[in-house]
Amino acid sequence: MKFVDLFAGLGGFHLALSKLGHECVYACEIENYLRTHYQKNFKIYPEGDITKIKSKNIPYHDILCAGFPCQPFSKAGTQSGFDHKVAGNMFFQIMRFVKAHSPKYLILENVPNLLAHAKGTTYSHMKEELEKNKYYIEEDLLSPIQFGIPQTRLRMYILAVKKKNKKDHPMIKWPKVKENINGLRHPKTNLAK
């Protein structure tokens, strides 16, 4: 399948999906030094500021990946959410591309506090926006240590699948983790471990 890599950073999504046999057809990253490294690693030079990119210029893709900025939602940041002057509207930039292209799959990543931010209303709004565009959504909290990688860096992952019709309930198969380390999995999800 073809994928786009938004807020690409050094290319974590690119590395994972290309190892699974998928092809990156577009990348976007605002930081010049990261764009340079991305090109060295993957032979693709990402476009810059996502707010200046016309969605019609993005090639066809099956999967949209985005590790969108976490500063507005992180406990370490201002927690200003959608009101954050620089990064508060980046989710809506993703939605701009989603509305224009309707990819089959979305893989989004952010900080775990996104679930609780503004008493849960921020993520509820994001989820509603995705559902309005006919996506089935699940989320979970995962850390590399749960896969035998010696790093504890809990992240929130949002997986979305385009629904074929209103009754469609796509299956999302989450990866098996070694164990539920210190209750890291999100308690509200009813997903098998």
- Is the Cβ–Cβ distance between 176 and 193 less than 8 Å? yes
110 — alpha (psi -120 to 50), left (phi > 0) or beta? beta
The span from the CA of 66 to the CA of 29, in Å, is 10
Q: How many CB atoms lie within 10 A of CB 146?
A: 20
Strand, coil or helix: 84: coil
Tokens describing residue 192: 């098998």
75 — alpha (psi -120 to 50), left (phi > 0) or beta? alpha
Tokens describing residue 53: 């990119």
Q: How many CB atoms lie within 10 A of CB 91?
A: 25
Q: Which residues are catalytic?
A: 70
Give CA 143 to chain center in angstroms. 15
